[in-house]
Amino acid sequence: MSLWKAKLSGCLNMKGSEEMSKIYNNIKKNYFFQFIRGTSLSEAIWVLFLASRGMSLIEIGLMESIFHTTGMLMEIPTGFIADQYGRRISRVIGRLFAFISCVVMIASRDFWGFAIGFILNSLSYSLESGAGDALVYDSLVQCGREDEYMKVRGREEICFQSAHIISLVAGGAVATFSFELAYAITALIHLTALGISMSMEEPVISEKQKADSIFQHMNESLKAVWANRNVLPYIFHLEIFSVCFMTLYFYFQNFMKSKGYLEYQIGILLAATSVMGALMSLVSYRIEKWIGKRKVILLTGLLPGLMFLILALTSAEPVLMMLLSALEGFMFVIFGDYINKLIPSEYRATILSFEAMIYSVAMIAFFPIIGAVSENYSFKTAFSIIAGVSLATGCLTAAVLLKKDKEQI
């Protein structure tokens, strides 16, 4: 009898081990998923594509606002879908929307057609944003290896950024011959990512993580943000810079095009900026350890605005773009660490979703304004406005953070 029990126990352990192995394979598959997702060619050329289809800079700005308005409105509902029905399901639906978005973009010829494409693309981002991280984290929890999360997250970022550098060069090169071909290749990339998503295992979701309704989910999300409001100045400090940098990044494509650069040359330049950002992210912790937290806050309050201003006033735009990208890589890692250390684990996904909403709200207003200024006045005038906003808000949030840091000493 004891021998039979021993054999049965061994079989159950083997079955449990196989199950754990399947769940942990999510981590390996996710590295591949992030790399494939990062090779999306449309990310590098969508502004130029819309311009080639007759869209003005104001209309392009409105497209980005539509994208972020959709993201802001759908962030909590898509989080509810991931919590209630599964992270894997959310990711699969997201890739399906991304594929359909590419098809719509290729077929569209007017503003409203492109708007539908942007809405679908935004939905794909919202369905992935919280669900992707939660799928990875929950897989690690189920395997008893949640302490590896930050290491896994770092490897994910390397996979994605490596692919993104390739996509910037390839996207520019392909777009030189055909924008439609670039979007068709991107559609196939999304189908590949869809296949990877479907092969993943759904980790166990505890009943505590599930909400009875979307309204309960929204109520609990707001309570979590308010209970952890000490993190908000750090979020604003990082996200305002991100809004300024990404607005410059996208309109920079049209600016370089107006100076006579070809699509593949712009792609190479943007790839070089991504390399600078990736390299800086690798040494960020050493720099932070060397100069200390207070100097990091002070410098990241002043430097971005000054760099934007120099870019607006000189002809050294490519050099300044690479320096700003390096600064973006530094701030993403360091302030991401500061923010995560202030968030309890059970509220991490919720508060990070709130961070994404702040970014979206700011982009809704800021992006079309810069587009209108660029079209009616000049790119350099628009870049000067970005510099002013960055300098004013950066100094303000830095002052708040320095005061809080001093109070904690």
Return per-residue pLDDT of the chain as tens, 409 residues. 454 444 334 433 444 566 677 788 888 899 999 899 989 998 878 888 998 999 988 898 889 889 989 988 887 787 777 777 888 898 999 999 999 999 999 999 999 999 999 999 999 988 887 677 778 878 887 888 877 766 777 677 778 878 888 888 888 889 888 999 999 999 999 999 999 999 998 887 655 555 566 677 667 767 777 777 778 888 889 999 999 999 999 889 889 888 888 878 888 888 888 888 878 877 887 888 888 888 888 898 999 999 999 999 998 899 999 999 999 888 887 887 787 777 765 666 667 777 778 888 898 889 889 989 998 999 999 999 999 999 999 999 888 888 876 655 4
Residue 339 located in a structural domain: yes
The encoded tokens of residue 268 equal 């190479």
Residue 120 located in a structural domain: yes
Domain co-membership, 186 together with 302:
no
Whether pTM > 0.85 for this model: the answer is: no
**Domain count of the chain?**
2
Of 150, 167, 202, the one marking the end of a domain is 202
Half-sphere exposure of 397 (CA within 13 A, CB side): 27
Domain co-membership, 241 together with 379:
yes
Residue 396 located in a structural domain: yes
Report the chain's C-alpha Rg in angstroms. Answer: 22
The encoded tokens of residue 156 equal 């994910």
The encoded tokens of residue 367 equal 């992006």
pLDDT at 253: 85
pLDDT at 16: 56
Q: At what angle do helices 232-258 and 42-52 cross, to 10 degrees?
A: 50
Task: Kindly list the distances between the CA atom of residue 218 and the CA atoms of 68, 76, 130, 147, in Å, as whole numbers in the listed order.
Answer: 19, 7, 14, 28
Q: Which residues span the domain enclosing 197?
A: 22-202
Domain co-membership, 197 together with 225:
no
Cβ atoms < 10 Å from Cβ of 225: 19
Beta-carbon contacts of 187 under 8 Å, excluding residues fewer than 6 positions away, are 99, 102, 103, 106
DSSP string, 279-304: HHHHHHHHHHHHH-HHHHHHHHHHHH
Domain co-membership, 281 together with 142:
no
Cβ atoms < 10 Å from Cβ of 143: 17
Question: Could you identify the residue written with the tokens 């594929």?
Answer: 99
Torsion, Cα of 173, 178, 179, 180 (10° steps): -130
Of 176, 202, 228, the one marking the end of a domain is 202
Which region holds residue 179: left if phi is over 0, alpha if psi is between -120 and 50, else beta?
alpha
> Residue 325, class by beta-carbon neighbours within 10 Å (0-12 exposed, 13-18 middle, 19+ buried)?
buried
State the alpha helices, DSSP H only, in 39-110: 42-52, 57-85, 87-107
Residue 276 located in a structural domain: yes
Domain co-membership, 293 together with 184:
no
Residue 14 located in a structural domain: no
CATH number at 398 reads: 1.20.1250.20
Picking from 36, 245, 26, the residue whose alpha carbon sits closest to that of residue 160 is: 36
Domain co-membership, 36 together with 171:
yes
Domain co-membership, 237 together with 296:
yes
259 backbone dihedrals φ, ψ, rounded to 5°: -90, 5
CB 99 within 8 A of CB 37: no
Question: Could you identify the residue written with the tokens 């800086």?
Answer: 280
CB 51 within 8 A of CB 254: yes
Question: Could you identify the residue written with the tokens 């962030």?
Answer: 75
Domain co-membership, 338 together with 247:
yes
Task: Report how far residue 409's alpha carbon sits from residue 294's, in angstroms, rounded to the nearest whole number.
Answer: 11
Residue 335 located in a structural domain: yes
Of 143, 176, 202, the one marking the end of a domain is 202
Domain co-membership, 235 together with 342:
yes
For the chain, the farthest-separated pair of C-alpha atoms sits apart, in whole angstroms, at 88
Residue 211 located in a structural domain: no
Beta-carbon contacts of 156 under 8 Å, excluding residues fewer than 6 positions away, are 30, 31, 34, 136
Long-range contacts of 208-216 (CB under 8 A, 24+ apart): 209/83, 210/83, 210/84, 211/80, 211/83, 211/84, 214/76, 214/77, 214/80
pLDDT at 273: 87
Domain co-membership, 278 together with 404:
yes
DSSP 204: P
Domain co-membership, 259 together with 157:
no
> Residue 344, class by beta-carbon neighbours within 10 Å (0-12 exposed, 13-18 middle, 19+ buried)?
exposed
Task: Taking the CA atoms of 80, 218, 126 and 25 in sequence, report the sign of the dihedral they define.
Answer: negative
Beta-carbon contacts of 288 under 8 Å, excluding residues fewer than 6 positions away, are 296, 334
Task: Report how far residue 112's alpha carbon sits from residue 91's, in angstroms, rounded to the nearest whole number.
Answer: 26
DSSP string, 383-395: HHHHHHHHHHHHH
Residue 3 located in a structural domain: no
